[in-house]
Chain A
Amino acid sequence: MLIPVSWLRDYVALEMPLAELGERLSVATGVVAAIEARGVSDEGGNLDLFRVGKVLEAVKHPNADRLQLCKVDLGEAEARQIVCGAWNFGAGATVGVALPGAVLPNGLELDERMVRGESSNGMILSEEEVQLGSDHAGIMVLPELVPGTPLADVLPLADHVLDVEVTGNRPDLLSIYGVAREIAALYELELAPPPGIDPARADEESLSIAIDDLAGCPRYVGCLFREVTVAPSPVWLRARLLAAGMRPISNVVDITNYAMLALGSPLHAFDWSTLRGGRIVVRRAEAGETLRTLDGVDRRLDPSDLMITDGERSVALAAIMGGEETEIGEATTDVLLEAANFEPFGIFRTSERLRLRTEGSNRWEKGVDPHLAGQAAKLATQLLVEVAGARWVGEADVHAGLPERPSIVYRPERADAAIGLPTPPAEQYGLLARLGFDRDGERVLAPTWRARDVTREIDVVEEVARFRLDDVPFTLPTRRAMFGTLSRAQQLRRRLEDALVGLGFSETYTPSLRPAGTDSGPWSLPEPISVELTVLRTSLLPSLVEAARRNVDAGAERIALFEIARVYLAGDDLPDEHVRVAGIVEGGFGRAKGVVEAVYRALKAEPSFERGEDERFHPGKTARTAAGLVGELHPAALEGTWGAFELDLELLFAVSQEPVTFEDVVSFPLVRQDIAVAVAEEVEAGALVAAVREAAGPELREARVFDVYRGEQLGSGIKSVAIRLAFQSPERTLTDDDVAPLRERIVATLAERFGAELRA
């Protein structure tokens, strides 16, 4: 929210530098306050170059039909000649003038110059040029003033604005007065009474207001006005709204916005003559009811929506937006002012459902103090009478009792225990008093404007803590138990990451959400922010394939990428989430399998591969382990020859033998032997090795295929597979005689299972 400092000064005398105020609000109140200068810069006496002028003469420019040539008295010895493009004034008008050398808020520096052959010694100002309004069609005509008076003395030309970002628990700060109250408490300053004094009632007309749903609308203050003159607001009012970031519309609407900004309780104004029923009934919407809101949209209402009706039909979506039919227009003369209070959750639900958030709904959702409605009505009433010439003829205030101030048992020692810094009770109660709390024996009473936020002892503790935050020392918990270790899975994950990095892979992170249609995952967002991020992925590989493709396009070489992340599979109540590692690397099947084998080795695990099947992979070059897939990518997935793998971390770590058990491989020598067997082409090497291991028993330390040969003498459909064997016992030296029967068993088993013929 934007807080114009000049407006703030209406309620509290600010003596501290604004930068310090921003810092204090930031630390103690938790509003991020940026301070921005607004309007005409005061740098180098610039403000002094803006003066009140009186137009002595205004005639058509001799050389330009659309320009006026003016003589303007600026209280100097001689009147200045100024060329002006606007025609909404004539001789006798009092105007604002910027003299040569002046810098406008938009950065333009004026100089004395010739316009179509006539010299122009300044600029007659429009509101827009000095950021006092949005009207740039004509210049700003002022009431009669002494020529030469500094313009800043009569108009808020220069101002500062605090941009405060209010946290959700402090709706009381969503108003200028609320911020003033907070500042007064922080600095122990005097706070002016809240703005708004009821003027005299001009008449006593009765006003009928009924609330069907006091839970949804705990209070409704209605004020009736006659003979209202709808017109643009005066400059000061428009200037304040603009500085606070709101667009001026018309005096009646501007007044409701002004009162909302000043006090934090939103208001609404109806054109009374359009309320056909002549009364106000607050009720829930009826089934099938619709309302065209003043943004021109027809809203289909739900029976949970709270409506303002005129007894016959809905005229406003309570707390969110008024109806178009009952909007204030130029011809409006009779106005019903609404200063109500609405319960947050219902408003939140309706505004959610309709996707409609407004300045009003934003405040109601956070909870507005029902006590404020009366004051807001007073301020708006005062302004309608003063600014719009209204006659105030009727009022009604309907509620079922305003909420009591929260009464909370408070133990000052609890604050000391929570904060870790003792604050004497008297000091605590003193701080609380500044914030509007009252002590009541063992209890404290919270102010009405904090009634939603401060309901428990801990909430009161926070009030003390925020005052003393800078003084709180830096300590560490006194420990009775320690937990500082990585779990086995966390240790293995680091090892896995390091192993892949060691193999030349670069780690990448890709989004967990995939474009619709690229992943048939069971979980997808009904309302994604883009089609690119729609489905929770069931595999990491497609994201890596895309990353690899982008890298190819970028001209990268030796591409090798991996990612460790979750996939989201079908589950019961929630997705079955698994952490996986996936990689993609330039090169074929052998490369990918080599990487997977190296990963298993790094994790002290023994992979076992079998033929796998997956449409993303080359149909003849896909293997699987218990943890996942490895293979050569299908050429349709990515041009070129690529290896890829995707493994489940939990399954991978489950087979890790870490910590490894020592084996004596030093005391007794290895006996190496090679065998070569001829088998049918379709017999897989893995099956042969598995059979070899099974046949040989524990003394076979190593069995690795090192050659596969095909040749004419073998005959077609036959291959020779050479396997390197190494035997070793941890207990004794094996002799050739020990190994011979093992070898025989191997050969016999291979012959029996695969019809293998020993070749060497």
Chain B
Amino acid sequence: MASYGLGSLTRADGTVARVDAQTLESQALSAIEAAATVDEVEEARVRFLGRKAELPQALRAVRDRETGMTLNAVRRRIEESADTREEELGRAELDRRLREERVDVTLPGDELPVGHLHPITQVRRMVEDAFLGLGYEIRDDREVETVAYNFDKLAFEPTHAARSPRDTFFLDETRVLRTETSASQIHQLEEREPPVYMVSIGRVYRRDAITATRYPIFHQFEGLAVDRGITLADLKGTLRHVMRALYGPERAVRFRTHYFPFTEPSIEPDVSCGVCGGVGCRTCKYSGWIEMGGAGMVDPRVFENVGLDPELWSGFAFGCGLERTAQLRHDIPDIRALWEGDLRVLRQF
């Protein structure tokens, strides 16, 4: 008996072939070694280990344990060799394919649809977030108001210019397109006992001809805080926080005396010009300051109109335009650009 087990197998025709395992193994290993592709490895595998190949047939015919173990060992070694070679070649083929698949990475990618939030909405969210951070709630009220809510309860004097159809859109004698979001103050105070901290955001209407700086429809955000012991200093601090949230922490904020029917004292906040840094330029009309809106301490008449005692409660209110904020943030020179729905404009934001 040789060191390699010898088997015999009975062929289908009845002849018995002797199998030289050593020879078979070396033939198989060299065939696998010589294979240049995964397919050639597979061919060799079939040739030596396939169902009709000599080795498996010999294995099936084997009767003694020792021969079986020997032949199985040979088969395992051939299989391992084929697996190894296949993996090697597979990796090489993949490498080659990947090398061939190299693309010009500077070509554009697939064109996917990308949408855009309107700058007014972006600013609206900034305003909302700034006030949410201060613990305010957000309101959105009706746009058509009664004269009572738009003017009377807000203590507009009977001769205030805003009561004229030359300044305000009247539907009839008692109904108007709201001229500011201030009616929300009344709604809020009528709906709930103070403390109240809210900001109302929405469309308002003024009878202005359409120009680069004015549009008869625009958006305001208007805040109201009513609590015990609210002061003008609280208003200054709140507005400075909000202005810096909108325009940047480096901005200076100043206040000027003003007049509004529903606040007393009334003030107007200015923010230092972001274009020139306060030195004076065309944007700020050489004043160094940009007007931001109106504000003031809630007038006692407004409290009386909603049944609150002005000796007990105090508060402040303020209002600013969203378009103006968006224009300043993005340096948009013409307000009409915000209302025309032109994708060349909208897709910038």
Give A contacts to B, CB under 8 Å: 26-30, 32, 34, 167-170, 344-345, 348, 352, 355, 365-367, 417-421, 456, 458-459, 461-462, 465-466, 469-470, 472-487, 490, 494, 497-498, 500-513, 523-530, 533, 536, 543-544, 546-547, 550-551, 554, 556, 558-561, 565-566, 568, 573-575, 577, 579
User: Other than the known A27-B255, A483-B137, A565-B203, what 4 A-B pairs have Cβ atoms closer than 8 Å?
Assistant: A30-B258, A475-B231, A511-B217, A512-B203
Q: Give the residues in chain B near A34, CB-CB below 8 Å.
A: 285
Q: List 15 A-B contacts (CB under 8 A).
A: A167-B258, A348-B159, A352-B165, A417-B229, A470-B255, A476-B234, A484-B133, A484-B135, A485-B132, A487-B138, A507-B118, A523-B171, A550-B340, A574-B142, A575-B142
Query: Which of B64-72, B76-84, B236-244 participates in binding chain A?
Result: B236-244
Q: Which of B90-145 contact A (CB under 8 A)?
A: 112-118, 120-121, 125, 128, 131-138, 140, 142-145
Query: Is the Cβ of A477 less than 8 Å from the Cβ of B217?
Result: no
Q: CA–CA, A533 to B112, complex, Å?
A: 37
Q: Which residues of chain B have C-beta atoms less than 8 A from A480's C-beta?
A: 195, 227
B339 interfacial by beta-carbon distance below 8 Å: yes
**Quick one: CB contact mask for B26-66 with A, threshold 8 Å, 1 for yes?**
00000000000000000000000000000000000000000
- CB of A589, distance to nearest CB on chain B (Å): 18
Chain B nearest CB from A538 CB (Å) reads 13
> Is the CB–CB distance between B233 and A509 below 8 Å?
no
Contact B257 A29 (CB under 8 A): yes
Give the 9 A-B CB pairs with smallest separation, nearest first. Answer: A504-B113, A420-B231, A420-B233, A547-B341, A167-B259, A501-B115, A30-B257, A482-B135, A508-B341
- B346 within 8 A of partner (CB): yes
Q: Inside 8 A of A523's CB, which chain B residues have their CB?
A: 144, 171
Specify which chain A residues have a CB less than 8 angstroms from the CB of B314 in the assembled complex.
417-418
Q: Which of chain B's residues have a CB closer than 8 A to the CB of A367?
A: 159
Given A469-B267, A574-B144, decide whether A560 and B118 contact each other with a Cβ distance below 8 A: no
**Chain A residues in 8 Å Cβ range of B120:** 509
**Are A566 and B237 closer than 8 Å at their CB atoms?**
no
Which chain A residue shows the least CB distance to B133?
A484
Query: CB within 8 Å of A: which residues of B?
Result: 112-118, 120-121, 125, 128, 131-138, 140, 142-146, 157-161, 164-166, 169-172, 175, 177, 195, 197-198, 203, 205, 207-210, 216-217, 225, 227, 229-234, 236-238, 240-241, 254-259, 261, 264-268, 285, 297, 299-300, 310, 314, 338-344, 346-347
CA gap between A168 and B256 in the complex, in Å: 15
Considering the complex, give the chain A residue whose CB is closest to the CB of B339.
A509
The answer to whether A417 and B159 touch (CB under 8 A), given A28-B257, A466-B257, is: no
Chain A residue nearest to B285 (CB atoms) is A34
User: Are the C-beta atoms of B344 and A554 separated by less than 8 Å?
Assistant: yes
Which has the most chain A C-beta neighbours within 10 Å: B166, B229, B259? B259
* Central interface residue in B144, B145, B203, B268, by most chain A CB within 10 Å: B144
Which B residues lie within 8 Å of A417 (CB)? Answer: 229, 231, 314
Instruction: Determine the distance from Cα of A421 to Cα of B231 in the docked complex, in whole angstroms.
Output: 9
Majority SS of interface residues in chain B? mixed
A506-B171 contact given A170-B259, A366-B159, A536-B144, CB 8 Å threshold: no
Contact of A484 with B344 in the complex, beta carbons under 8 Å: no
The residue from B157, B233, B339 contacting A473, defined by CB atoms under 8 A apart = B233
Closest residue of chain B to A362 (Cβ to Cβ) is B161
How distant is the Cα of A560 from the Cα of B341 in the complex, in angstroms? Answer: 11
Q: How many angstroms between the C-alpha atoms of A575 and B141 in the bound complex?
A: 12
Beyond A476-B237, A550-B342, whether A418 also contacts B232 by CB under 8 A is yes
A482–B132 Cα distance when bound, in Å, is: 9
Minimum Cβ distance to chain A for residue B316 (Å): 9
Question: With A465-B232, A512-B217 known to touch, is A506 a contact of B135 (CB < 8 Å)?
Answer: no
How far apart are B341's CB and chain A's nearest CB, in angstroms? 3
Are B134 and A484 interface neighbours, CB within 8 A? yes
Whether A503 and B115, one on each chain, are in contact in the complex, defined by CB atoms closer than 8 angstroms, is yes
A319 to B158 Cα, complex, angstroms:
17
Per the bound structure, the CA–CA distance linking A465 and B161 in Å amounts to: 26
Choose among B120, B227, B285, B343 the residue with the greatest number of A CB atoms under 10 Å from its CB: B343
Taking a contact as CB atoms under 8 Å apart, the answer to whether B115 and A355 are in contact is: no
Is A507's CB under 8 angstroms from B158's CB? no
B170 adjacent to A526 (CB under 8 Å): yes
Docked-complex contact A551 and B342, CB < 8 angstroms: yes
| The one of B112, B233, B339 that contacts A475, using a Cβ cutoff of 8 Å | B233
A355–B297 CA distance with the chains assembled, in angstroms: 34
A523 to B134, CA, bound (A): 38
Q: How distant is the Cα of A573 from the Cα of B340 in the complex, in angstroms? A: 32
A314 to B: closest C-beta gap in Å: 23
Contact A508 B346 (CB under 8 A): yes
Residues of A contacting B232 with CB < 8 Å? 418-421, 465, 472
- Chain A residue numbers with a CB within 8 Å of B121 are 497, 507
A574–B113 contact, CB under 8 A?
no
Most chain A CB atoms below 10 A, which of B116, B209, B347: B116
Contacts of B118 in A (CB 8 A): 506-509
User: In whole angstroms, what is the CA distance A579 to B135 when docked?
Assistant: 25
Q: In the bound complex, how far is the Cα of B161 from the Cα of A536, in angstroms?
A: 24
- Within the complex, the shortest CB–CB distance from A585 to chain B, in Å, comes to 9
- Contact A418 B113, beta carbon cutoff 8 Å: no
- Residue from the set A476, A490, A530, A558 with the largest chain B CB neighbour count within 10 Å: A476
Interface centre among A420, A504, A533 (most CB of B within 10 A): A420
Quick one: closest B residue to A347, CB to CB? B159
Chain B residues with CB under 8 Å of A421's CB are 231-233
Residues on A with beta carbons closer than 8 Å to the beta carbon of B142: 574-575, 577
Chain B residue numbers with a CB within 8 Å of A536 are 144, 177
Contacts A481-B195, A507-B121, A525-B169: A469 and B255 contacting too (C-beta < 8 A)?
yes
- In this complex, what residue of A is CB-closest to B322? A509
Q: A419-B233, A465-B232, A484-B131 in contact; A573/B146 too (CB < 8 A)?
A: yes
| Contact residues in A for B143 (Cβ distance below 8 Å) | 512, 566, 568, 577
